[in-house]
Amino acid sequence: MFKVESLHVYPVKGLAGTSLLSAIPEPRGFRYDRRWMLVDPLGGFISQREYPSLAKWEASVDDDHLCISHRQDSGIRLEISLDHWDHQPRIPVTIWKDTVLAHTSSTFVNEWLTKNLEFQCQLVHMGGNSHRAIDPAYAVPGEEVSFADGYPYLITTTASLADLSGRMEENLIMRRFRPNIVIGSNHPFAEDQWQRIRIGDHLLRLPKPCARCQVITIDPETTAINPAVLTSLAGFRKEGNKVLFGMNACWESGSGAIRVGDPVHV
């Protein structure tokens, strides 16, 4: 028997997210997950790949506001009403090979972020009228994704993390891998073989493993970079030129919330 160990959403792509006791699945990902993104002056997405310091910042949705704050100084905090974007213009933004129309933020918001993050940027929002398709090689027709790298959900297991930690002789924390759903398990990398899972009333399809990049080398607590995390994983989890950890997932059906402690059926 497997169970949900923890749940996570990352409202702003590239920033630290929030752990939740329950979360509402939606086709593009959990509600509020990666619906916002930082872009450069040309509309290209910004992530921890270029700015590891983003790990020092976290985003959450509290009541009717998106909140962005410094993880080590709660006094540095920006709150933005969720209806802020209702009348903001849309601009084309680029994430990997996709171009999406997204609502931009006010001058005040963008100037605050530029000043505090210490690089030129603006915050954009993916509303219901913006659409980004999943790679058709792995998607069911009509499936869409938010500003996540490629798929609405990322699923990892405790056993796989424990296996990697043991090989490295270091106690790695799961937040380094930025999952949405962490499943308690005693069988490392058993998830490689999962095609579908059911959590409560929800059915999720797992089309492919997740290829990892240098972001997993960034310590989410200190932002220190340890290349050995990626090279160690590559030593036994490399297929072609891709290093794998976790499974990408798409939501197929269900209603209500997924909760920590819910049983998971493969």
pLDDT along the chain (266 residues), means of 10: 95 97 97 97 96 96 95 94 95 96 97 97 95 93 95 98 97 97 97 97 97 96 95 97 98 96 97
Candidates 2.40.33.20, 2.40.30.160, 3.30.70.3420, 2.60.40.10; correct CATH number of 2-28+135-265? 2.40.33.20
Question: Which residues 6+ apart lie within 8 Å of 206 measured at CB?
Answer: 155, 191, 194, 195, 196, 197, 247, 248, 249
CB 62 within 8 A of CB 55: no
Does residue 229 sit in helix, strand or coil? Answer: helix
Report residue 233: phi and psi, to 5°. -65, -40
pTM: 0.96
Q: Where are the chain's structural domains?
A: 2-28+135-265, 31-125
Intra-chain end-to-end CA distance of the chain, in Å: 9
